[in-house]
């Protein structure tokens, strides 16, 4: 912390925009040169299959380039003056400056891309950053920092930290020298850490959701079900906006559940370094235990197990699972599963489906599947969500769009351009001059 604060406090050490652009351009180039290494590293430590880890690294490289565009297009604005006697002979404009030291805690499920989302905007905005990756997946973060330094970033401007002790983490977050805190992880931990921030520290929290999908009787199931299955089973469901709760009209709900189970049953689970693997292992064995317990609880409560429901290859894997009509108070109905489980529920009245989708304390991304534009817009406007996909899965994301959890799912807005702006302050300069007389 002392190194980061000293670098920011001494304005002579600030990195000019042109230098920041050069560093990020070289970083993107180095990532392209080390592409296969980064893919293998991410797959090995996080368990995401090679096919999906390649997509992640491509996104991470594009994210660094997005940070460059933020610098090129970021600017202040003129504030109107000369409008009354009080503002006469004045010219006012804003400029943007780095907010200060950034502390970022990251999650395991996208071990490189999430780091880019937190560190990249900090470097672009001119803030020193201390990054704490997830304990399970630190290697991609440390390698990214190495590439930044190889590209010319001074060491004090990006420092990786690995700690397993809560006192160290809590002490870092509570430090009064922290200007901005970025957190990606569980709601329980995120809200707890926010309560410990020093007065004046800004923050953004990205937690999980219990993503709902509303499917009407006229939906094109051939088109949307493969997408919904991918959105639910991708990375073994370890994605904060994974498809979890599917509310299907009663006339098609059984078909929806059966077809999702059939698609999931075809997914190949195994070694993430195998080119043919589609579902990798869960991050920890205790997560396999938890998911199994939740599924069993739902079945004991009356849910129909349509497909999956058990372990594969020991403790590391859980089958792609589909449940039909779990009890509304079951854990799988109310909490984020963070595993390869999709729940399908019947509805007969559209408003009842929307009410069921909204009744949990989480709100993030959602989806509606229908051929009717009026229905799509009605559902979209009534779902409690920060983003609603139409005829797509809930996990859709490009990294320049806003990404925000509502209610207990988060605080503030993610997405590289939005994080970049949050890591800056807008400074107003007002010039009084008699030479401005008559200026329009």
Q: Within a 10 A sphere around the Cβ of 431, how many other Cβ atoms?
A: 12
The alpha carbon of 360 is separated from its chain's Cα centroid by a whole number of angstroms, namely 20
Please identify which residue in the block is written with the tokens 């995120």: 190
Q: What is the spatial distance between Cα 423 and Cα 232, in angstroms, rounded to a whole number?
A: 33
Among 45, 56, 70, 206, the active-site one is 206
Q: Please report the beta strands in 65-224, taking only residues with DSSP state E, as ranges in sequence order.
A: 78-79, 90-98, 101-105, 129-132, 158-160, 178-184, 202-206, 212-215
Q: Please report the beta strands in 7-146, taking only residues with DSSP state E, as ranges in sequence order.
A: 78-79, 90-98, 101-105, 129-132
- Residue spans of alpha helices (H) in 96-138: 113-125
Q: What is the spatial distance between Cα 426 and Cα 98, in angstroms, rounded to a whole number?
A: 9
**Which H helix or E strand runs over 350?**
helix 350-358
Instruction: Specify whether the CB–CB gap between 322 and 307 falls below 8 A.
Output: yes
158 annotated active-site: no
> By CB neighbour count within 10 A (0-12 exposed, 13-18 middle, 19+ buried), where does 409 fall?
buried
Nearest to 328 by CA among 300, 367, 356, 304: 356
Residue 97 in tokens? 């400056």
Instruction: Specify whether the CB–CB gap between 82 and 90 falls below 8 A.
Output: yes
Phi, psi of 81 (to 5 degrees): -130, -170
Q: What is the spatial distance between Cα 402 and Cα 405, in angstroms, rounded to a whole number?
A: 10
Q: What is the spatial distance between Cα 111 and Cα 41, in angstroms, rounded to a whole number?
A: 9
Q: What is the spatial distance between Cα 129 and Cα 131, in angstroms, rounded to a whole number?
A: 6
Q: Please report the beta strands in 174-310, taking only residues with DSSP state E, as ranges in sequence order.
A: 178-184, 202-206, 212-215, 245-249, 304-307
Among 127, 203, 240, 369, the active-site one is 240
25 annotated active-site: no
Query: Could you give the count of Cα atoms lying within 13 Å of 207 in the half-sphere of its Cβ?
Result: 27
Residue 209 in tokens? 């959701």
Is the C-alpha dihedral spanning 249, 255, 256, 257 positive or negative?
Answer: positive
* Residues acting as catalytic residues: 206, 240
């Amino acid at each position: 912390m002392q190194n980061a604060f000293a670098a920011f406090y001494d304005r002579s050490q600030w990195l000019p925009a042109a230098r920041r652009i050069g560093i990020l351009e070289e970083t993107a180039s180095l990532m392209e040169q080390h592409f296969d290494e980064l893919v293998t590293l991410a797959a090995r430590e996080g368990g995401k299959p090679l096919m999906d880890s390649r997509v992640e690294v491509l996104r991470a490289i594009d994210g660094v380039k997005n940070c460059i565009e933020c610098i090129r297009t970021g600017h202040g604005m003129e504030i109107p003056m000369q409008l009354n006697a009080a503002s006469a002979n004045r010219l006012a404009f804003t400029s943007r400056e780095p907010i200060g030291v950034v502390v970022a805690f990251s999650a395991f499920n996208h071990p490189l891309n999430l780091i880019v989302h937190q560190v990249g905007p900090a470097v672009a905005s001119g803030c020193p950053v201390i990054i704490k990756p997830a304990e399970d997946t630190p290697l991609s973060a440390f390698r990214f920092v190495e590439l930044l330094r190889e590209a010319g970033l001074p060491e004090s401007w990006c420092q990786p930290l690995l700690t397993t002790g809560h006192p160290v983490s809590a002490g870092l977050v509570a430090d009064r020298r922290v200007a901005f805190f970025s957190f990606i992880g569980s709601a329980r931990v995120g809200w707890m850490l926010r309560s410990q921030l020093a007065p004046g520290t800004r923050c953004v929290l990205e937690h999980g959701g219990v993503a709902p999908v509303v499917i009407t009787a006229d939906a094109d199931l051939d088109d949307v079900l493969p997408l919904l299955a991918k959105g639910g089973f991708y990375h073994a469901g370890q994605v904060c906006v994974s498809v979890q709760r599917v509310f299907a009209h009663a006339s098609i709900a059984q078909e929806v559940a059966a077809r999702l189970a059939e698609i999931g049953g075809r997914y190949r689970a195994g070694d993430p370094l195998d080119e043919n693997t589609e579902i990798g292992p869960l991050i920890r064995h205790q997560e396999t235990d938890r998911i199994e317990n939740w599924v069993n609880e739902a079945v004991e409560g009356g849910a129909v197990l349509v497909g999956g429901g058990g372990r594969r290859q020991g403790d590391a894997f859980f089958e792609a699972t589909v449940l039909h009509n779990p009890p509304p108070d079951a854990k799988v109905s109310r909490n984020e599963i963070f595993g390869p489980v999709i729940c399908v529920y019947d509805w007969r009245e559209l408003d009842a489906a929307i009410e069921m989708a909204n009744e949990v304390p989480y709100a993030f991304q959602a989806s509606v599947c229908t051929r009717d534009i009026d229905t799509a817009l009605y559902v979209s406007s009534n779902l409690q969500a920060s983003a609603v996909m139409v005829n797509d899965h809930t996990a859709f994301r490009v990294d320049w769009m806003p990404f925000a959890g509502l209610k207990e799912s988060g605080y503030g807005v993610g997405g590289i351009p939005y994080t970049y702006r949050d890591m800056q302050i807008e400074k107003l300069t007002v010039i009084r001059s008699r030479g401005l007389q008559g200026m329009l």
